[in-house]
Structure 1
Amino acid sequence: MAGDESGAARVLVLWYPDWPITATGGAAAGEVAVVADGRVLACSDGARLAGVRRGQRLRLAHRLCPELRLRERDPAAETRRFEPVLAAVEEFTPRVEVLRPGLCALAVKGPARYFGGEQELAALLYERLAELSPEPGPDRAGDWGGPARPPEQQPAPQTPLPRIGIADGVFAAVLAARAEVLVPAGRTAEFLAPYPVGVLADQHGSDQQGAGRQSADRQLAELLVRLGLPTLGDLARLPVHAVADRFGPAGLAAHRLARGLEARLPATRGPGPELAVEQLFDPPELLAEPLVFVGRTLAEQLHQQLAGAGLACRRVSVEVSCADGSSAARLWQHEGRLPPAALAERVRWQLQAWQTSGQFGPTAGGFTALRLVPDELVADHGRQLALWGQALAADRVERAAARVQALLGYGGLTRVERVGGRGPDEVLARVVWGEEPEAPADRDAPWPGRLGHPAPGWVPPEPVPVTVLDAAGQPVGVTGRAEVSSAPTQLVLAGRISVVTAWAGPWPAVERWWDPQRARRRARFQVTLADGRALLLVLEGGAWAVEGAYA
């Protein structure tokens, strides 16, 4: 099988560790973590020394590191601040593939010949990138540990240094970049052999679109370990036909990666019909926002054309043209894992990055065209169930949701969506499956006075009335200046008196003060009781209530 043994191309990968932290606040000092979907996405060295790890729940991270400062993930800022890095890399080669912000890859063959070899290319590239000093993000109130610091107290910006690795294929090159090694040609399988099979799950993105494939690869890795194949070297020694029969397409792709080959066989025929999709603008568009809306339509058209031709693509090129003849293009990794909505998101990030970095000056005359071009087409073999009955989680959910909606009606199936808000009962809302929240932009609002993390583990359907008393048995109140009238010492709940051992607050929240009909004034407290319970209390209109309880 000569085609099966075709080797992978030499690839250089450039990786900035903890790029989400760099994008949201510059090079982090102290205990800092970026969070997404209630888990740690990236953390600083100080947080790692305290035991914080990627993927941890926030409750566990706070228990390990009480001083941990949390920042919301900002994918648009990650892309925007990565753009100067990509522009510097393009001085060495015009084709740079963005695997995700903070991680990019480029083919080595041509640039290495021009600059005198792979090691010389890596050295020159490192020197060029060391000159960059990415613009530090503000140490803003998004750090949930407290308010934003004044400019004179802001940490001095630090230049993060990249890690560079070279190997056969993108998968091996990413691992080589983490280890900062240049793997000699033909020895990639030897380099990969000691790695645990769990690294197969790390090749997909950390966003929602990559979660399904990451979960499937993680389950495959767990199965391989149970079968006595804990390392990539153990997997690579298995016969190809045995892996294909037992594990299906997913196992065959993992077997190829373990042997230092590409996960898919190269295309054996030309790309066929022109599958790029394009939208022309006449007159030219001066702003990027209209292009963002068009990007969703183009993404759907691209997926329909690829599906109609029975093809998939490894990368997608986002290209724009301007009235003065200037243009720009950027390759984003696709690998068949980006649905139209996710691809449209990357188009939006890229347009914002170009606009912020000054890619198109005042003389550009506006945008005249937006194109999505599929790159490196391969045959789409579909998603067949593996022998042990496993499929992509996203596919199973979509099929199940369609069946349930057919039985219950369109509005009979809902999902929980984060929409923003200040209280634990306002952050999440139920949305009909397949629709978006009424005001999705609200989730990214600053929300001053919102409840910090970790969130309560239990929230009642309706606040439970309680009475809070001080040492003299008098009700505790909060003044107009958000000062507590006296220290709370007792809590009366359902006729039972509990002793307050510790308390924190108040945290005031004033909403719609300009509208007498909808105005609200609330103050929240956290209290711990002698029986070990920890409660979130709210005072509104002179009445106390339990808004949540901490597990």
Structure 2
Amino acid sequence: MRSGLSRAPAGPGVPVRSIVLWFPDWPVTALVREGAVHPTAPVAVFEHNEVVACSPAARADGVRRGQRRRDAQARCPRLTVIPADAMRDHRVFAPLVARIEEHAPGVQIVRAGLCALKARGPARYYGGEVEAACVLLESLSELGVESARAGVADGPFTAEQAARVGTGPDDPVCVVPTGGSAGFLAPLPIGLLDDVSLGGGPEFTGLLARLGVQTLGEFAALEQDRVRERFAERGIRLHALASGRDPRAVDPRTPPPELHREVAFEPPLELADQVAFGVRVAADEFVAKLGAVDLVCTELRVELTGDRGERSERVWLHPGSFDAAGVVDRVRWQLGEDAADLRSGVALVRISPEAVDAASHHVAAIFGAAPEERVHHALSRVQAMLGHRAVLTPVIGGGRWLAERQVLVPWGDRVVLAKERSRPWPGSLPDPLPASVFAAPPPVEVSSSMGGAVSVDERGRVTAHPAVLIEGGRRRAIEQWAGPWPISERGWDAARARRAHRFQVVDADGVAWLLVCESGSWTAEARYD
């Protein structure tokens, strides 16, 4: 590791001295930081059926980036397979970038797990490039990130390669001296230009490999005129990167406004009403801060932390947008519904926007509210007075039984179906469906014209023709009937297996019934009104 602060003035075509921070296997680190996987578990993140990141435990078993899923699982049978999620990676990466900006503003997020900044300012402030990089790594270590590496060089491309190939656990900072980029890059493989964001790609590097160009140095040694003839301006840009003449400048982001609010309670509060009262001011400030940038919150994240460290976290939706009262209501409801997760008093409440929308999309109509707006306000008011689950909306889900297809969702919540409607459900009832579905199917009796009980044998045949239906103590003659239609569930599990048969019958009054015969017992599942 060598240090040196460039004093040469930057001009046109002169690479900008850059610091790049690289977080190895960031998708796995993001999963660990969210608590989705254990740090020591063998985990691999896949995109397009290829490994894009893996944990140390998986790497120890032979899993590598670029492997196909089948090969990775063959090397590590206990491998946990998780699909790539760019939104998750960026969400977890954002707090780390904010911490870096506290020590050195002007950070450019190249992608989740990789960021760059100009070296000149931090190096002057902290007394050198190595010192500046070490300060940034130490600030990340305070957040529990020990694996970050830093590279300093002329241009972001060389600095990134320095962080990747020139660092290790014992030496996390690599500094390439000013003017030494070409020599540093020369022995590196040409495959580093596979990154499409650089303008390269596998087809470009594959062609170079077939032409006998295996390293960046060999590519840099080619004449620019020959490169332009074969690859046009795209090749010239990549040729400049391979030569250590990175023409790109660091483009720092504009930090987003701090929209979240936190309320700490000392001593911790035990009663939900006390906590709700304590967050009223923060809720007003939260909504006002969003309004100042012409935004409204449509999805709210509420994080509650107990005095003993236990946490409750939930994302709340709103049919329109949250006002201060709606924020306070969600905090109160979460305290009531997640009381089992908080075994001690509430020490900290954090509210933050999970999703926002332009305030102009939620302006009240000039000439009175539309009918759906009046319904929204009325239902939201009832819900605020009576509680989260006081107003429920019906949603059709999946399943074989009619009762389980009726899903009631609290007003404003996201619909999460345990059984997707789009999946095949063998044995489910086709349209038209009954109008009245009994939540608790009442028991009935079905008998033959001779008075004997009617059942279904092991081969799925009725033991006698249904002639009489006794429902609620009333005897009804069966005029027509159809069935049986079998329903079989979980045949592989003896304790949870279920086998039944459906019948449709019409009584003498013209009322149609949907009956179920299970192990000789009859129930009325629904009625056709």
| Superposition TM-score tier, normalisation by shorter sequence | 0.3 to 0.5
Higher Rg: 2
